[in-house]
Structure 1
């Protein structure tokens, strides 16, 4: 760990705004819908904290930086937020981007509370500066693999757009499925167009196809081709990374996009806090809030609790992660050291496998929980 000479935020006068930074993908090629939901949750929680009197009389000031799914842009944003004297950084959706941001935060001694990125190896080594709310990929994707096994799938193809994140997901699936006699067949979407993907599914006698690739390209054209190929009528299409969660999926695919199971991190039933926040997010977004919006809200809720109890000193914030006990929208949040994960981890947020109901694509069905 590289700690700068001073691990505190910039000197503040009493009652002056307390700055926190937020990393969010708001422009392409980032997943803009996810970024919009994440920021909606973060901003709602900040406004509620300030409406309740702020932190010891000081309002929170949100300083937002668009990462556009670019790791180098995220690194520069962390440097900028550090110079501005933020007490901590929150957010980010894309795992590869969050990994770069976490590395810079660790080097600078700047607390980073990651909202949504799931890559297990968020840092190369254990760090006290970084904590995470989203479940690790290995945890969620094993639950997804259990869903596939329970549904009787043993020949599973993955349409992969090679990257660290997708390769990690493929490895989790293969390692969990192999002991049960299941086979994972990799199809490189850089080399295969949607029609060739269909031919490969027929050749390999696959019963399921998982979309481990970007949205809308190439995921949407692949779904369209598979759904319209009568030879593949019985093939399950899945998207563990959550592409069908957002309205654009339904807008682009219509009925073809229903019945595609994905992972989301919500409880089966919300308590009073989750119900209230869900209503506020629905009004703010003018659409159903995704789990990402709740992750954003919970992130600020946790950080506000830490700031109230430990103050804005950066070293104090980092030291507080193992002592967090905060009621979030999706359950009680606490952090621990989890084997194989170098950051302070909430183990775990609730995990569901969900799809859009073919009889009503605007409605979600819970298919499996873990």
Structure 2
């Protein structure tokens, strides 16, 4: 759908959400989840952006409007009570330094104009290399890297933006994303050589870290949005997702490889290690590698996200069983057949 629904602010029509960056993995997963929950979805994308054709999703209206054109966005999204910030620049330090603050200001501007609630996906960068094994909403934030410090600043800016009463905000913090297409550790490193019988694990195999299966996280955004009036003007909630070492991943990958005929003659997947020192050296030439190298501590420091406050608000998290989520994530990459209809998982 290309023309957003007309409405008058303050009417008792369907709940409406504006998703900024709806072409991305999280944005598209959120669009599907909100639409399936009965919301009207206004899906912002860059005008004339290159890429695959926008999918036709019932209940989703695609809006090719520049994110910093506040007047045009607000005019087309006047119905929206919730704004989801799913904008995501390139992974490099330069892109973050130049684009991330501006994207946040654009999101705040349109949310204020709409007098809505802004929802931001958070991550664990805020806590730094000395983070404790259990991360709660009140865990002190002691970021040690460039991106961690920037994430802290962004959340502080968002908090400040809610003080005037023109908008509300929710940070929903989660671990590493997987599922819903390309652009994660799974396709870029861990399982990129799975059809050749090999995986590459970035850290010690016994270190457990949090993973967010994107369709589950997207449904959690919907559930939190539906309960937003029970929250303070600014809130942070933690999404636990899957807490896993390398072993469950290896188990799932091995089962899938056996079915696909990808196992080596020895009957077991070959497991390689990510060459972190080489990434650091190559970072002098390829900025993305330098940014990745700065995140090595996330693979060597055991941690998990405590979701007690989230469960008190919405009940149990949406939670796809791990093996099923891994299989669907590989299906989204075109490597295997989907185990379940997309409508169930999206």
* TM-score in same-fold range (> 0.5): no
* TM-score normalized by the length of structure 2: 0.40
Question: Relative contact order (C-alpha < 8 Å, sep 6+): which is higher?
Answer: 1
